[in-house]
Amino acid sequence: MPFISSDALAAPSHQDSVRSRSASRWALGILVGINLLNYLDRQILYALLPLIQADLGATDAQLGALASAFMLVYMCAAPPVGYWADRSSRKNWIAFGVGFWSLATLASGLAAGYRQLFWARAAVGIGESCYGSVSPSFVAEQYPKSHRARVLGYFSMAIPVGSALGYISGGLIGEAWGWRQAFFLAGIPGLLLAALAFRLRDPSTPAPSGASQRPSAAPLPRGSARSGASKSHPSLGDYSQLSRNSSFVSCTLAMAAMTFGLGAYAVWMPTFFTRNWGMSVSEAGTLFGILTVVSGIAGSLGGGWLADRWMSGSPKAYFIISGAGLLLAFPLSLAALLADRFAIAASAIFLAEICAFLNMGPLNALIVSVTKVPMRSMAFAANIFIIHALGDAMSPTIVGLVSDRWGLRPALLGAAAALAVAGAICLWGSRTVEQDAVNAEAAA
C-alpha cells in the first residue's frame, strides 16, 4: 500500500472543493425556494382581502387583524425556536416549519367563518418562525464572509418574487375560482419543499469520517466559523448580551421601523389601488406584484452587490447603503400616495420599493457579522421578535383602524414616515459597526 502523508489527507482536493461549492449552491437553491413560498403564503392573503371582506362581511380593522394575528404568533414563537435551534439540528427546524405553515395555509381555505380564518392565519406564524429564525445564518455560513451580503441578497430576492407571486396568484385565482381555492393551491408546494429540506446538511455539523469521498456529504464550506466539535450551547440568558451590542440594536430598530412601513404597504396597497384607481382585484394584485418583483430583484441584488464591493474599503457599508435607500424611499412613497395621475403613482412606488429593498442583503449580513457564532439563530430570533413587535404586527391593524375613520390614504401616509426613521437609525448605527464586528470575530 503506498504511503499517504497526513498533509495529503487533510488538504481538500479539487473534487472536494467542487462538491463543497455544489452543496452550498444546492442548499442556497432549496432555501431560496422555501423563502419564496414563505412570502407567497404571507402575501396571498392581502390580494384576497376585498373578496374575503365581501364574503365574510369583515371591517377594515378585522382584515388588518388577520395580518397582525400571523405576526404576533410569528414574533412570539421566534425566541424559543431560535434558542432550541442553536442547540439542535437547524435543518429539522426548517423542514418542520415549512410543513407546518403549509398545512395551516390549507386550513385557511377550509375556514367556515372569520374566526376560523383568524386562527388559521395565526398558525401560519408558528411554522414561519421555525424557518425565519434559522435560515439566514444557515445560508450565510455556507459561504465566506466576503460573499455573504451578495448571497443573502440572492436569498432575500425571494421576498419580492414570492410576494409578487402571492399578489398575482391571489388576485387571479381568487377572482376566477374564489379566495378559498387560492389558499389550497398555495399550501401544496410546501409539503414537497419540507421533504427536500430534510436532506440539507447543516454547516455546523462536521462531516462524518470519509465523507469527503461521498458526493452527498460535502466538507464544511470555507469561511464557516461553526464547528460541531467546539460549538458551545448558548443559554437563554445570552439573549441579554444582544442588548449590549450597539450595532445589533441599531440594525434591529431600523428594521422594525422599515417593517412598520413596508408591512402596512404590503397589506393595504392592492386594496388602495382597487379603491383609489378603480381596479379589479386581479388587476390590482397583478400590477402590485409586477412592480414588487422587478423592484425587489433590482434592490436586493443591487444592495448586496454594492455592500460587498464597498466592504473592502469600509465595513460601515451595510448600514450606509441601507440608510440611504430607506431615506430616499420616504419621499417617493409620499409621491406615490399623493399623485393625481396613475402613471406617476405607479412609477413612484416602483422607485420607492427599489430603494427600500437595498437593505435586504446588507442588514442580514450585518447581523451575522456582529454576533457570535454559537448564537446566531438566537440573534435572528430576537431580531424577528423585535422588528415585528414594533413593526408589522400592529401596523396593518392600525392602518385599518385609521382607514375606517379617516380613509386609507391618510393612514398609509402616516405609515410612510417610518421609512425615514429607519434610514436615520441606519446612519446612526454605522458609528459602532467596525468595533462590534471585531468583537464578534474575536469571540469565535
In tens, the pLDDT along 232-262 reads: 565 566 677 788 889 999 999 999 999 999 9
CB half-sphere exposure, 65, CA atoms < 13 A: 13
Terminus-to-terminus CA distance in the chain, angstroms?
40
pLDDT per position in the chain (444 positions), as tens?
Answer: 444 344 433 444 545 455 566 777 777 888 888 888 888 988 899 889 889 999 998 888 888 888 888 888 888 888 888 778 777 777 888 889 899 999 999 999 999 899 999 999 999 989 888 887 777 777 777 777 667 667 777 777 777 788 888 888 888 898 889 999 999 988 888 888 988 888 777 665 544 444 433 333 333 333 334 444 344 565 566 677 788 889 999 999 999 999 999 989 988 998 899 998 888 888 888 888 888 888 888 888 888 788 877 766 566 888 999 999 999 999 999 999 999 999 999 999 999 999 998 988 889 888 888 888 777 778 888 888 899 889 887 888 899 899 988 999 999 999 999 999 999 999 999 888 888 888 877 765
**Which region, left, alpha or beta, applies to residue 278 given φ > 0 means left and ψ of -120 to 50 means alpha?**
left
Lookup: cell for 323: 440608510
* Burial state string for 384-408 with b = 16 or more CB within 10 A and e = fewer than 16: bbbbbbbbbbbbbbbbbbbbeeeeb
Residues 6+ apart with CB under 8 A from 15: none
Maximum Cα–Cα distance across the chain = 85
Distance separating alpha carbons of residues 424 and 325, to the nearest angstrom: 11
Q: Which domains does the chain have, with CATH numbers?
A: 20-199+240-443 (1.20.1250.20)
**Threshold 0.85, pTM exceeds:** no
